[in-house]
Each structure stands twice: as C-alpha cells, then as structure tokens.
Amino acid sequence: MNYPVNCNLQEDARNAKNKTLLKTKSFNWPVLSYLLVGIMSASTVHAENNANKETSYTLEEITVTAQKREEKVQNIPISVNVLNDQQIEDANIKDTTELIRYIPNVYTKDSGSYQQINIRGVGSFVTSLYPTTAMYIDDINLPIVYMQNQELFDVERVEVLKGPQGTLYGRNSEAGVINIVTRQPDNDLRGKVFTQLSVFDTDGDWAPGYQLGANVSTPIVTDIMYFSLAGKWNYDQGPITNDFNNDDEARKINRGFGRTQLRWTPTEQLDISFLGDISSSDENFGYGRYKDGMFKTERLHIARNDKNNRNWNGDSESLRVKYKGEEIDLTSITGRRYFSDDANWDMDMTTLPTSYMNTFMTEKVDMWTQEFRFSSSEKNESPLAWLLGIYGFTEDTKVTGDYLAGMPGMSNNTYRNTDIDSDGFALFGQGTYTIIDRLHLTAGLRYEYNSQWGEQRFTSEMEPNYPTSTMNYKKHLTGDELLPKFSVSYDFTDDVMGYATASRGFLSGGFDYVSATNNETFYYEPEYTWNYEVGVKTSWLDNKLLANLAAFYIDMTDKQASEVLSLNQAKISNIAEANSKGFEIELQARPATGLTFSGGFGYTMTEITNWYDPVTQYDYHGNELPNAPRFTYNLSTMYQHSTGLYGRVDLLGTGKFYHDATNMQEESAYELVNIRLGYSGEHWDVSLWCKNLFDRSYYTVQAPIPGYGTLAFDGDPRQIGMTVAWRF
C-alpha cells in the first residue's frame, strides 16, 4: 500500500526497448542504477539531521472512503492501495494508465481507444462496453471502457480496491474499484500553474509534447462558501510515424479538460457541493503495426493508406449533499455523465491499393444516477457501525458501426446501429460489529435489479450481385442479484490487524454490437466472481514502516467468452470458468528525514478450468487468462535535501503473460526505469525527468490477423522532459 508523505517525491513510469546504447543484459542495468541511487541518497542522510524543513519523518495515517464512509485505510479488511496528490506529483503520473503501474497485481491492456483494467487476473475475454473494474470520480460512475483513462490533475487521492466490490458498488465491479477523489475547496487560498515540455526518443528523432495547466481554490465567504477551478491542456506529437506518407503525427494527442466546484457549508453539519467537468480530445489512432509477415514494419512505424483518428468529448455534473448529525449521517449524490466518441481507422492496417477496409465507430452514453446513504454517525460510540443505501440509474447508449470492405463497385459493407436503454436500482447495507475490544465482524448485502433493452438495425450491402438487406435484432434483458460480503478482523496490537474476507461481484450481461447475426447472437448474460482473501496490515517503528500482506483465491463462473457456432458465425456466451490465486506485498518506509522507500510485489496465477470450443475443437482448459501477468512489482526511492533539491528513481516490472486465451501470443517479462531530479522551493518547482530510461521495448497488444501477420501495439519509448510549476 502506498502512503502519502510530506516530501516531494517525483518520477513516473514509461516504456520501450534497450537500444544499441546499452548492449548488456536488460535487467541488470536498471537494477544497478536503482541500487546506486539508493546508496547515494542514503549516504547523505546524516548530513540532514539538522534540516529545518522537516522535523518528523513518520508516515501519515491515511483516511479513505473506500467503504463509503471515512475510515483509516489500515483498519479496512480488504486490500486497498492509495496514492495521494503529492505521490502522484512525485511520480510524475499523468493518468490512470500510468498510475496502475504502481499498484501490484493490477495491469492495463492499453489498446489506444480504450483501457481494459485487469485486477488479480480478472478481466474481459471479449469486446464489451462494460468494464470488469468500476471507476468513479467523486462518486459518479464511468460506465464504459472508453472512459477509463482519466487525467490525474488537481486530485486529492486515488483509491484502488482489489477484489469484487459488489456489495457497496454493484454491477461491473467484479475485479475491483478505482475511486478518484478530487480536491475540495476550503478556507485556504491556494493555486498552481505549471508547464511541461517533453520529447519521445524515436530512433534518433524527437517527437515533442507540451502540457499547460492551472488550478485555483479560494474562499468566497469565509467558513461558508468556497470555489475551485482547474484546467489542463496536453499535446503530444506521439512516437509513431506512418511510413506511407511520412506522417510523424500518426499518434498525435491534443487533449484538454476543465473542472470546477462550488461548495456551500451554511452550518457545521451541512456540506453542499456542485461539481462539473468537461473534457475533449482530438487524436490520431496510429497504434497497431505488423511485427511479422509480409506487411511487417519496424518498431514505432506503421504503414497505412487511410485515415486513423478519434475524437471524443464528455462532461459531468453532480450535486453532493452531506449532513452529519449526532446519531445519523445522511448523504445524497445526484449525478449526470455524458460521453461521445467518434473514431475511424484503416482496418487492414496496410497500404494495399486494390482493396479497402475501414471502420467508423461512434459511441454516445448519457447516464443519470442517484444515491442516498444513511450511516451511523462518526460521533456515535456504539459497537455497531452501519450503513444503508438506495441507488438508482438510467443510461442511454447508442453505438454506430460502419464496416466498409472491398473496392468501389465490388464491396461488402455492413452498417450497425445499436440502441441500449438501461436502468436499475439497488438496496444495500453493511455493518461492522465490535464483539470484544479487538474483534470485529462485518456483513453486507446488496439487492440489485437491472433492465436492459437492446435493439440493433443491421444493414448489409454486397455489390454488385446482391441487393441491400436489413435485419433488426431486439432483446430485453432483466435480472436481479444478491451480492453478499463477510469479513472478520482482529487487532492483535494497535499496529497489527489481521482479516479474512469473502465477497461476490458480477459483470452485467449486454449486447454484441460488433458481430451479432441474429437475435440469439445479439445478447449475453452476466458473469460472476467470488473472492476469498486473508491479509495482515501492520505498522512498525513508530509508524516509520508500513508492511501489508494479502493472499487471495478468486472463482469465476459463467465467464463471457466467444463461442464459434459455425465457420462464419460466433456468439458471446457464458461458457467459461476460471480461477485466480496469488498474493501481494506492499511496503512503505521512511527511515530518515527526507528519505522514502516504497514498493509492492504481486503474484497471480490464473487458470481456465472449463472452456471447450466444439467447432474448432480447441480446449482452453489449463490455459492462463489473458492480460494477467504472473508478477508485477514497483520499487521507488526518493530523497529530498533540506535545500529543496530532490531525486527519485522508480523500477516498475511486469512478468510474463499472454495477450490471448489460446496462450499463443506471449509477452516476455520487462521492467521500466524512471528518474526525476529537481528543486522544490516555497513557490517554485523545477524538475528534469525521464520515463523508460533504458528504452525498453514491449507490446501492450498482440493479436494474430490471418493473412496479414501479428498485429502489435508498441509501448512508449524513452521520454525526456522538464516541468516548471509555480504555487501560491
């Protein structure tokens, strides 16, 4: 578990291959550089005994809302990782994809258009709108996978909850939950302006990037009214070049977002906030290349003769009301979230002049949510701490897909227009009862009802011999779920807590908006997970060392997987079963003023226990789940001198895994090294940094394309940058 510390730790994770610059063994150099930095920083510790900037070097206690009430993270009987605003800045973390590298047993499949988050081996086999990991910003859900790579600017903390969280969070949290909590304005006037210049190192060439951001928080009326505003703009030329037209902006990103909050506290008990945000992005979707076959190109080079771009925008508004009473606390959260995504790309990803394969996709989501929570007051000293809640949502999703193939006059084009109307409600509750002074029992239950209406209009054009045909698919899916949770925890001492937890989660059913051919292939049912976890959370040496350990076993049933029905027909079916087991260790240490170590190690072993394809006669039994690294680790050292000078190094590792369920596309283990050096003064902060220092090469996606080769998405190469910030 990562804990916030009052020293400007700084650095972050990026990635690519060992160039001719370093011909020795890829792993030894990063480890050696890491150890050297650690030794050098430790050797200067004694010179700082009289430092006047920091007189204490204990770790802070962290308060989170992972269980929808304020609690110390060390007291919660589940595995939770927390990174606060200072840690995110120290590691130079830009977005949630980069943040996940600092969390053991969590991995992101980055396919450019969406990020599929995998926790403890639990992810998705199929192309689905819905994620297995739920993500929230200020208690408002991000319901589809295309929304799950969020910029992290002006946030207070990010909480990563591992294992199914169905009891408190409901649908689509079968792997876990990521909570992003933004800063609240208060009586303090504060702000920040920053600019950043960076370059990707692409085979001797440089691909520039720029960022500019600012935030301000101020009281309007002391103790009553407060306001905050934050904004950020990011431009990256990107490291990819299209050899077809020598376009060095093939993976360009031009992105901006803004966030505002108005907070009113008319009494000590009542806290009312209105929050709003807006974001947009103009991107070139030049990601995939063929790493072998007749269309092979080199690393960071593609060759395509058609457009590849993506434009998305979104906004969110919410009203949050909190009342803290003597016996009961009340919370109401009303939210709306809108998202629109337009993309088109060259599907064959080649320069073939005699044929074309293009796809045009549009997704639009408009969602409203309402949650009421009633909980025992923090002032109540009863042995029972309880929470009850009511949740409801309505969601309108439209997906349009145009798939064009062939040549003018000799084409095979298909057009799919899909409408999905979803709504549901839930009743949930959870309570913790202290039987004796140190023994705590927790039980929770959620009843959830979901309704989905799906309709698709499918049109096919085959020129010149066949007339246009149109078909309509319709399906109404309904279902209710009971999602329990049980925990027991025991405080062996004030600093050592052990626990055991069992919890259930599910991923909702849905509609195959990509390849359905009739009513029966248009829909699929929910999948489920049971998580069994034991762990211990400890603090040592007067809170200078934190060490946590968790072990888990996850049983997955009714897993959504692709079932081949015939040579030209497939269906997403609930035909697979699997399990995942492993452990994770998390450490944080602050042995001396200005010096901090943090790290984590996660081990996961997954197995498909039941999945047989009768048409292809392929048996997946015994295979590992895709995108589930056997191990992940992170190790960070930062030292800050009393003069304000600081340095940080991060080592981020990913073990071997497979990109597909057949276990044919293997990704070897790799590690990334990031460094950051800088100065932090009272108002100014200047830093130089490098991500993927040794230019390690790796792939975020691999997939075989018959007749073409293996499609691969390159991870980012070495990136070098400078950041300047002014605070007030």
Three-state SS annotation for 314-366: EEEEEEEEEEECCCEEEEEEEEEEEEEEEEEEECCCCCCCCCEEEEEEEEEEE
pLDDT of residue 648: 98
* Average pLDDT of span 671-688: 97
Q: Could you give the CA distance from residue 702 to residue 97 in angstroms, rounded to a whole number?
A: 18
Q: Scan for tokens 């009802």, then name that residue.
A: 449
> Among 200, 272, 357, 348, which residue's Cα sits nearest to residue 716?
200
Residue for token pair 């901006």: 256
Provide the pLDDT for residue 408: 63
Residues 189-210: b if buried by 16+ CB within 10 A, e if exposed: eebbebebebbbbbeeeebebe
Q: What is the mean pLDDT of residues 680-692?
A: 96
Answer yes or no: are the C-beta atoms of 362 and 113 closer than 8 Å: no
| Helix/strand/coil (H/E/C) assignment for every residue in 411-451 | EEEEEEEEEEEEEEEEEEEEEEEEEECCEEEEEEEEEEEEE
Q: Count of CB atoms within 10 A of residue 423's CB?
A: 16
Per-residue pLDDT for 509 more than 80?
Answer: yes
User: Which of 51-65, 97-111, 568-582 ranks highest by mean pLDDT?
Assistant: 97-111
**132 torsion bin: left (phi>0), alpha (psi -120 to 50), beta (else):** alpha
Examine residue 464 and say whether the peptide bond preceding it is cis (omega within 30 degrees of 0): yes
Instruction: Enter the tokens of residue 363.
Output: 């997704």
Question: What is the C-alpha separation between 74 and 2, in angstroms, rounded?
Answer: 11
Q: What is the dihedral of CA 345, 411, 126, 352, to 10 degrees?
A: -50
Contact 7, 54 (CB under 8 A): yes
pLDDT digits (tens, 9 = 90+) for 212-249: 999 999 999 999 999 999 999 999 999 999 999 999 99
Report which secondary-structure segment, H or E, holds 214: strand 205-221
Q: What DSSP state is assigned to residue 122?
A: B
Q: What is the pLDDT of residues 589-635, one digit of tens each?
A: 999 999 999 999 999 999 999 999 888 889 999 999 999 999 999 99
Q: What is the pLDDT of residue 433?
A: 97
Yes or no: say if 319 and 274 are a contact pair by the CB < 8 Å rule.
Answer: yes
How many secondary structure helices (H) and strands (E) does the chain include?
4, 42
Boundaries of every domain in the chain = 28-181+332-671
Alpha-carbon separation of residue 502 from 428, 505, 680 (angstroms) = 17, 10, 45
Q: pLDDT: is 43 or 145 the higher one? A: 145
How, if at all, do strands 527-540 and 496-507 pair?
antiparallel
Q: What is the largest CA-CA distance in the chain?
A: 86
Looking at the DSSP assignment, which residues form a beta bridge with residue 697? none
Q: If one looks up domain 28-181+332-671 in CATH, what number appears?
A: 2.40.170.20
Q: What is the sign of the dihedral through the CA atoms of 56, 59, 64 and 70?
A: negative
Q: Is a pLDDT exceeding 90 seen at residue 643?
A: yes
pLDDT digits (tens, 9 = 90+) for 383-440: 999 999 999 999 999 999 998 777 666 677 889 999 999 999 999 999 999 998 899 9
Q: What is the pLDDT of residue 208?
A: 96
Three-state secondary structure call for residue 75: helix
Q: Could you tell me how far CA 57 lies from the centroid of its own chain? A: 31
Contact 7, 637 (CB under 8 A): no
Binned at pLDDT 50, 70 and 90, residue 14 comes out as very low
Rg of the chain, C-alpha, whole Å:
26
Q: What is the DSSP code string of 649-706? A: EEEEEE--EESSTTS-SEE--EEEEEEEEEEE-SSEEEEEEEESTT----EEEEEEET
Which of the two residues, 515 and 655, has the higher pLDDT score? Answer: 655
Q: Does the pLDDT at position 191 exceed 50?
A: yes
Helix, strand, coil percentages (3-state) for the chain, rounded to 5, are 5, 60, 35
Q: Which of 126, 106, 104 is closest to 118 using CA atoms?
A: 106
With a cut of 50, say whether residue 284 has pLDDT above it: yes
- 8 A C-beta contact, residue 194 and residue 219: no
If we measure between CA atoms, which residue out of 210, 314, 342 comes closest to residue 257? 314
**pTM of the predicted protein model:** 0.91
Is the pLDDT at 702 greater than 50? The verdict is yes
Task: Name the amino acid, one letter, at 491.
Answer: D
The top-scoring range by mean pLDDT among 98-107, 556-565, 607-616 is: 98-107
Question: Which alpha helices (H) appear in 145-216, and where do they start and end?
Answer: 166-169
pLDDT at 38 over 70: no
Within 8 A by CB and 6+ apart from 246, the residues are none
Match 């009843």 to its residue by tokens. 447
d(CA 339, CA 243): 33
Cβ–Cβ contacts within 10 Å for residue 377, how many? 15
Task: Name every residue whose Cβ is closer than 8 Å to that of residue 434 and which is 6 or more positions away in sequence.
Answer: 383, 384, 440
Residue in 588, 583, 467 with CA at minimum distance from that of residue 533: 583
Q: How confident is the model at residue 308 (pLDDT cuts 50, 70, 90)?
A: confident
332-387, pLDDT tens digit by residue?
999 999 999 999 888 888 888 655 677 889 999 999 999 999 999 987 788 999 99
Find how far residue 211's CA is from the centre of its chain.
Answer: 21
CA gap 287, 299 in Å, rounded: 11
Separation CA 121–CA 125 (nearest Å): 11
* Cβ pair 653, 671 in contact under 8 A: yes
Q: What is the mean pLDDT of residues 681-710?
A: 95
Q: What mean pLDDT is predicted for residues 528-533?
A: 97
Task: Give the other-Cβ count within 10 Å of 468's Cβ.
Answer: 11
639-to-93, 395, 645, 648 alpha-carbon distances in Å? 18, 48, 8, 7
Q: Percentage of the chain surpassing pLDDT 70?
A: 90
Question: In the predicted model, what is the mean pLDDT of the chain?
Answer: 89
Give residue 567's pLDDT.
65
Question: What digits encode the pLDDT tens for the residues 446-484?
Answer: 999 999 999 999 998 887 777 788 999 999 999 999 999
pLDDT at 141: 96
Burial per residue of 269-307, b for 16 or more beta-carbon CB atoms within 10 angstroms, e otherwise: eebebebebbbebebbbbbbbbbeeebebebbbbbbebe
